[in-house]
Amino acid sequence: MTGKRRAGVIWHEAECGSYEADLSLWEELAEESVLDLGCGTGRVAIHLARRGTTVTGLDIDPALVAAFEERAPGLPAVATVGDARDFDLGTEFALVLAPMQLLQLFDDSEQRLRCLRSVAAHLAAGGLAAFAIVESMPQPADTVPLLPDTREVDGWVYSSLPIDARVDPGSIQVRRLRQTVSPQGELEEELYEIGLCALDAATLESEARQAGLRPAGRRAIPPSEDHVGSTVVLLGKEI
């Protein structure tokens, strides 16, 4: 794995790998077969697989899929490279889940609809799809200073500090300060920004109906010290 791709895996692990607030919900919903969209290095999929659930992961980043496979020997978990906006795995699943605002990484409603149609095509009769979204950001007065997410790998220290989240018309822009310290103490840093499309549960449910899915309830993932809370929109397959 090249240095750039390896660094991408490390940043993913640093910024996402320690998040656990949603795991109990996925455990509750998990059926005999699960598809994890945007699986990354397996934070959710491998957790479920260790509990005996058969899980297939899908991610667009080959480096993350490779790291997933390295972590999954002996577990009922496999991962494949693919785009959640348009995929065909040739099988159906009892549960399709999309943690950590995957849908909000897509550019617009058209891309979300493509994803929802693919999900509908892979959902077994009586199955369930679950999409975690952030509907709003806390006001600055409601927040406390955050500690950086960190990883140490082979003497290198990777630190990612959430700086702010700016709510613009139609989007949420999240900024982090990424710092890398070499074993010799040399510091490199960069500002990293990721955009999330604004999306609420009612809009997602409306789009789901267009894709052949029906609303099946909502659940809440409470905020943690380091992460905002999420709404999980549950969808069933139209019969």
Which among 36, 39, 1, 34 is positioned nearest to 17, based on CA atoms?
A: 39
Q: In what order do the strands lie in the sheet with 230-237?
A: 77-81, 54-59, 33-37, 93-98, 123-133, 230-237, 213-221
Residue 32 has a pLDDT of: 86
3-state DSSP assignment of residue 91: coil
Which among 100, 107, 43, 35 is positioned nearest to 231, based on CA atoms?
A: 100
Q: Decide: 119 and 208 in contact? Cβ < 8 Å.
A: no
Residue 157 has a pLDDT of: 93
Rounded-to-integer distance, Cα 124 and Cα 97, Å: 13
| Structure token digits, residue 187 | 């510091």
Q: What sign does the dihedral 176-149-172-129 (CA atoms) show?
A: positive
> Lowest mean pLDDT: which of 112-121, 131-140, 169-178?
131-140
Region at 164 (left for phi over 0; alpha for psi -120 to 50; beta for the rest): beta
Q: What is the secondary structure of 48-71 as a DSSP string?
A: HHTTT-EEEEEES-HHHHHHHHHH
- Where do the domains of the chain lie, and which CATH numbers do they carry? 3-136+199-237 (3.40.50.150), 140-196 (2.20.25.110)
Q: Note the pLDDT tens digit of each residue in 190-238.
A: 999 988 999 999 999 999 999 999 999 999 998 877 678 899 999 998 6
Q: What is this structure's pTM? A: 0.90
Rounded-to-integer distance, Cα 37 and Cα 148, Å: 26
Residue 140 has a pLDDT of: 53
Q: Note the pLDDT tens digit of each residue in 130-141.
A: 999 998 776 554
Rounded-to-integer distance, Cα 231 and Cα 130, Å: 10
* Residue 78, CA atoms < 13 Å, CB-side half-sphere: 4
